Amino acid sequence: MSQLTIKNLLLLFLGFSSLKGYGQDTTAKPVPVLWDLATCLQYAKQNNIQLKTLRLTTESSKQDLLQSKSALLPNLSGSASQSFNHYNLNTSGTTNAINYSGAYGLSSTWTLYRAGYLKTDIKQKDLSVQSANYAVLTSENDITLQITQAYLSILVDKESIIYNQDLVKTSTAQLGQTQRSYDVGSSAKKDVAQFQAQLAGDKYNLTAAQNAERQDKITLKQLLQLPATHDFDIVKPDTVISDQRIPDLQTVQQYALQNRPEVKNAELAVRISGFDLDKAKSGYLPTLTLGAGIGTSYANDPTYNAFRQFDNNFYQQAGLTLSIPIFTNRQNKTNVAKAKIEVAQSQLALENTKTTLALTTEKAYITAQNSQNQFVSAIEQLKYNTEVYRIATQELKIGSVNLVNFYQQRNLYVQAMQAYIQAKYNAALAERIYEFYLGIPIKL
């Protein structure tokens, strides 16, 4: 085969390889740019650093549990020693200048009785694993609320941007109309200046709304642990329902007190501290330990070789050790007293957790009710002010309205629209936070 043919085949092979590699690259999943609320919540649960840290704490608690279970079993350790000695020859010249010896053995200890300390420790470590899991769930709930609030803040910003963009367009049209009227002598220069100031103010508010959106996006990206360079935006839902009937307070409080992870964790803390007390009390009781060992040794004795010494010196040993605490410098008494204090503290912490949760749910209930009432009022307010502003705009076009009255109506409309946007999302957020305490997942 000629060199030219080989070269062509190599080029053809490389071409197919590059096409295959290119095809593989195009099948890679792109990093999402548009995020809905469900995607944000799921991503945060998997990637938030705080949650990852708590999950590692759970893994550490599992290792403590495994170690605690292993304490029920006997241990085993080996030992070996080898020594060499050197000294000068004696006068008779019959002693070696170098002497060496060795000893080897295995030993084991097994705790037979420790007043229930070991089994109590296993139960306590098992509860610690459960407690670590509840800590993860508590943090997930906190992050869920933070992300929801940040997400809705961006939605408020987006609506404010659209609303301010419409105001800029309207102000631009009104300024053009007044400018044309001034050009033909039908309006005063003051009227043109007023509409120029109005347009400048609307542009300022639009810029402020856009900056607010950027800032709120940064807040959400921080909660999601996204890099600052990542292109990011959220999906705006078609509608945000915020006028549903909210559950009664007693039902939500009862569910929250029975199922929320922070309450479960506080209850486990009481039980864990109780086990600490049991372990402290076991310090007053004796401990029984079984010990056993085997071993052998040898030395450079010319009378016996090493293998014969190994056989002659081989020993087996077993025995029981009973340790009875008589006077421990108040150590046991102090441990018991501190454990009792810990039990009392954990009980107070549980009571405080329940009280705080009950007050939090009550506050969420009141906030949801007030937010819904404010939303209803904002709808009515916007409805009437929109109609009045529409009439004033029509009158402005035909020149039959006083500019002072027009600006008054416009300001009332602007305030009503701002109140409506804020009230709508406040009501949606308050309702979902309140229902979240009933175990209902947050959805828009």
Domain boundary residue among 184, 215, 238? 238
Whole-number pLDDT of residue 93: 52
- Distance, CA of 1 to CA of 320 (rounded, Å): 87
Which is more confidently placed, 121 or 406? 121
Domain membership flag for residue 303? no
89 falls in which pLDDT band (50, 70, 90)? low
Q: Which domain holds residue 349?
A: 243-284+330-439
Domain membership flag for residue 184? yes
Residue of 110, 117, 126 whose CA lies nearest to 63: 126
What average pLDDT does the structure give for the chain? 86
Q: Which of 322-336, 391-405, 409-423 has the lowest mean pLDDT?
A: 391-405
Domain count of the chain?
2
With 60 as the cut, is the pLDDT of residue 179 above it?
A: yes
Q: Same domain, yes or no, for 229 and 261?
A: no
Residue 212: burial class (beta carbons within 10 Å; 0-12, 13-18, 19+): middle
With 70 as the cut, is the pLDDT of residue 381 above it?
A: yes
Whole-number pLDDT of residue 416: 92
Domain membership flag for residue 185? yes
Q: Same domain, yes or no, for 274 and 204?
A: no
pLDDT digits (tens, 9 = 90+) for 311-363: 888 999 999 999 999 998 999 999 999 999 999 999 999 999 999 999 999 99
Q: Same domain, yes or no, for 140 and 189?
A: yes
Domain boundary residue among 238, 269, 295? 238
Whole-number pLDDT of residue 243: 61
21 falls in which pLDDT band (50, 70, 90)? very low
Q: Same domain, yes or no, for 141 and 181?
A: yes
* Count of C-beta atoms within a 10 Å radius of residue 263: 19
Whole-number pLDDT of residue 231: 83
φ, ψ dihedrals at 302, nearest 5°: -65, -15
pLDDT digits (tens, 9 = 90+) for 128-157: 999 999 999 999 999 999 999 999 999 999
- Distance, CA of 64 to CA of 67 (rounded, Å): 5
Tokens of 375: 């939303």
Q: Same domain, yes or no, for 265 and 387?
A: yes
Domain membership flag for residue 325? no
- Distance, CA of 406 to CA of 389 (rounded, Å): 8
Range 326-334 contact pairs with CB under 8 angstroms and sequence separation of 24 or more: 328/283, 331/283, 332/280, 332/283, 332/284
Q: Same domain, yes or no, for 143 and 199?
A: yes
pLDDT digits (tens, 9 = 90+) for 27-48: 444 556 789 999 999 999 998 8
Q: Same domain, yes or no, for 177 and 256?
A: no
> DSSP state, 64?
H
Whole-number pLDDT of residue 371: 92
- Distance, CA of 10 to CA of 229 (rounded, Å): 41
- Distance, CA of 286 to CA of 280 (rounded, Å): 13
Q: Same domain, yes or no, for 52 and 156?
A: yes
Q: Which of 180-184, 246-250, 316-320, 349-353 has the lowest mean pLDDT?
A: 180-184
* Count of C-beta atoms within a 10 Å radius of residue 313: 14
CATH number at residue 136: 1.20.1600.10
- Distance, CA of 421 to CA of 167 (rounded, Å): 15
- Distance, CA of 226 to CA of 240 (rounded, Å): 26
Q: Same domain, yes or no, for 225 and 265?
A: no
Residue 346 CB partners (closer than 8 Å, separation 6+): 266, 269, 270, 272, 273
pLDDT digits (tens, 9 = 90+) for 224-235: 888 877 888 998
Whole-number pLDDT of residue 86: 73
300 falls in which pLDDT band (50, 70, 90)? confident
Residue 244 CB partners (closer than 8 Å, separation 6+): 431
pLDDT digits (tens, 9 = 90+) for 430-439: 999 999 999 9
- Distance, CA of 80 to CA of 421 (rounded, Å): 80
Whole-number pLDDT of residue 22: 37
